[in-house]
Amino acid sequence: MKEQNEKNLKIIYDTMKLAENYYHAATVMSFDMETICPPAAMEKQGETMAFLSTEGYKLLKSEEFIRAVTELYGNLSDEDIDPLDRELVKSLWREYDKIKNLTPKMNHEHDLIRNKAYVDWLRAKQSSDYSVFAPSLEKIKEIGIEEVSLRGNKSADPYDDMLGDYERGVTQTDLDEAFGECKERLIPLLEKIKASGKTIRRDFMSRTVTDEAQKNMARYLLETIRYDFDRGAFTTTEHPFTSDLARDDVRVTTHYHPNEFTASMYSIVHEGGHALFGQLQPAEHHDHRIAGNMSMGMHESVSRFYENRIGRSRAFIDLIYPRAKEIFPGLLDDVTPGELYEAVNIVEPSLIRTESDEFTYTFHIIIRYEIEKAYMAGKAKTDDLPRIWNDKYEEYLGIRPANDREGVLQDVHWSFGFGYFPTYALGNMYNAMYFNRMKKEIDVDALVRAGDFDAVNGWMKDNVFAKANILTAKEWIKDITGREFTPKDFLDYLEEKYGAIYGL
């Protein structure tokens, strides 16, 4: 049995190595497509990406590979199988169960649809015309439901499976409960903040800053949190993202706004958090090909930990303030660190999720989730989504988009599917839980104020990153904190922080 297990593992590793070459090439092209690819070349590039992905997909659908996975999955109790190889086999089996009835031809066709959807979304956003994207969005919904219907182990509701693709084990029932608590506590708190009478100075936040200065600031911030430039790079894009191309190639992107210099600052710290998660993966997880198995909620917990719990803290502002004055000459000469801290934490309902304040951010996710849920249940039609979107923003935040670009078209995610957005809010809830443990063990504020991110990142590596590829999100957060998942820590944090800022 041991000899057969070893033979099957060799087949798996050899096949995955070859498939990864195709996927790596497609991912590099995807990074190019979202950064410097000429607009007229995008559709052709998308076709090439689809071809490469399909070739990799064919390898993972080969009879020899599937037989090796199936036999090993049936022998997981064998003691001669390395524990990390067991995790690999379980992961491969889950993925196989999802795609076993999806033919290479269908996979290729669906890749073409998704690539075209991205191009259509980009054109639609640039022209602020939802009708350009609507036909592709309808197809994205159709192929998403079709793919779920072909799975072996599927839920009664396709949307639960889509949610589970990003956050295994999390369902609409979990989200309805968590988001219900958020609305119960945050809606009244938002009204108190609006009625507080507190005026936060923000005139300097719209002062013009050159792209070059913002680029220098982005590099400084990445260096500060210990992003490894020998294993990464950064550039600009329409919608900031992080691309985990390989063990030693994790790239980040940002976008510069001439009159919103902090937008890029917090975008790059957010993406830098994602990148640190990629760069600080355990070496043995790469060796056993399970690096990257973490859920998106775990990933978002880390990116928003660096962006908000660290990046918007008073300690971080005190750390970066002197350097910011140097990088942005004259910008902050009449601004104190305290004024900058309050300005980056101002609560002001806004239309764009990626530029929203930490407090109202959760409402953006709840809105998107409620729309997705209704859309997938057939309670909302494709053509109605812009109106539903605008109505919900008015209901929850008291503001209404003036056009599709700042409304339903603002995010890229629907061009490749549904179920991703709740992970952003779950990430906030996860990091609130592990931050409460972290601050009991190390003096986080003192370390941040001193710029000692080796210590901060070391704690994260040992406690947050170490088992993320092995456990489900619910198991993982309990392993870190000793407690079951709850949104309470996050809601308590918001009440305490913003109660202090607004004198509530």
Q: What is the mean pLDDT of residues 161-166?
A: 94
End-to-end CA distance of the chain: 67
Instruction: Using pLDDT thresholds of 50, 70 and 90, give the confidence band for residue 285.
Output: very high
Model pLDDT, residue 42: 87
Judge whether residue 275 has pLDDT over 90. Answer: yes
Under 8 Å between Cβ of 31 and 242: no
Task: Tell me the C-alpha distance between 290 and 299, whole Å.
Answer: 15
CA–CA dist 247, 276 (Å, integer): 12
Spatial distance between the Cα atoms of 67 and 75, rounded to a whole number of angstroms: 12
91-102 per-residue burial string, b: 16 or more CB within 10 A, e: under 16: bbbbebebbeeb
Report whether 144 contacts 158 (CB < 8 A). Answer: yes
In contact, 207 and 254? CB cutoff 8 Å: no
Q: How confident is the model at residue 79 (pLDDT cuts 50, 70, 90)?
A: confident
Whole-prediction pTM value?
Answer: 0.90
Q: Taking phi first (over 0 means left), then psi (-120 to 50 degrees means alpha), and beta for anything else, what does residue 230 get?
A: alpha
What is the average pLDDT across 461-469? 97
Nearby residues of 127 by Cβ (< 8 Å), 6 or more positions away? none
- pLDDT reported for residue 144: 95
Per-residue pLDDT reduced to its tens digit, 399-429: 999 999 999 999 989 999 999 999 999 999 9
Decide if 225 contacts 269 (C-beta within 8 A).
yes
Percent of the chain at pLDDT > 90 equals 86
- Residue 356 pLDDT grade (very low, low, confident, very high; cuts 50, 70, 90): confident
Residue 155 CB-density burial (10 A; 0-12 exposed, 13-18 middle, 19+ buried): middle
DSSP 196: S
Q: What is the pLDDT of residues 296-307, one digit of tens each?
A: 999 999 999 999
Which pLDDT value is given to residue 386?
97
422, 403, 35, 26: which is closest to 240 by C-alpha? 35
CA distance linking residue 365 with residue 353, whole number of Å: 8
For the segment 87-102, the average pLDDT, to the nearest whole number, is: 91
How big is the CA angle at 70 (ends 107 and 112), to the nearest 5 degrees?
A: 5
Residues 327-344: pLDDT tens digits?
A: 999 999 999 999 999 999
- pLDDT band with cut points at 50, 70 and 90 for residue 504: confident
Least confident of 109-118, 173-182, 212-221: 109-118
Residue 129's pLDDT band, with cuts at 50, 70 and 90, is very high
Phi, psi of 124 (to 5 degrees): -65, -45
Strands 234-236 and 249-254, sheet pairing:
parallel
| Residues designated as active site | 271
Largest CA distance in the chain: 74
Please report the domains of the chain, with CATH numbers, ordered by start residue: 2-154 (no CATH), 172-501 (1.10.1370.30)
Residue 429 CA, distance from chain mean position: 14
What is the arithmetic mean of pLDDT over 370-388?
96
pLDDT at 239: 79
- Within a 10 A sphere around the Cβ of 193, how many other Cβ atoms? 20
Burial of 343 (0-12, 13-18, 19+ CB in 10 A): middle
> Would you say 157 and 148 are in contact if contact means Cβ atoms under 8 Å apart?
no
Q: What tokens were used for 155?
A: 């839920």
pLDDT at position 100 is 85
Judged against a pLDDT cut of 80, whether residue 393 lies above it is answered with yes
Q: Say yes or no to pLDDT of 1 above 80.
A: no
Contacts 24+ apart (CB under 8 A), 474-481: 474/169, 474/170, 476/298, 477/430, 477/433, 477/434, 480/433, 480/434, 480/437, 481/433, 481/434, 481/436, 481/437
Mean pLDDT to the nearest integer, 123-140: 96
Q: What is the mean pLDDT of residues 447-458?
A: 97
Sheet containing 234-236: give its strands across: 234-236, 249-254, 242-246
* CA 153-74-171 angle, 5° bins: 25
pLDDT of residue 57: 87
Q: What is the mean pLDDT of residues 172-177?
A: 96
Predicted confidence band of residue 107 (pLDDT cuts 50, 70, 90): confident
**3-class DSSP string for 20-41:** HHHHHHHHHHHHHHCCCCCHHH
Average pLDDT taken over every residue of the chain: 94
- CB-facing half-sphere around the CA of 277: CA atoms within 13 A: 31
Q: Residue 348: pLDDT above 80? A: yes
DSSP letter for each residue of 73-87:
HHTTT-TTS-HHHHH
Q: What is the pLDDT of residues 4-29, one digit of tens each?
A: 999 999 999 999 999 999 999 999 99
Whole-number pLDDT of residue 43: 85
In this predicted structure, the answer to whether residue 195 has a pLDDT above a threshold of 90 is yes
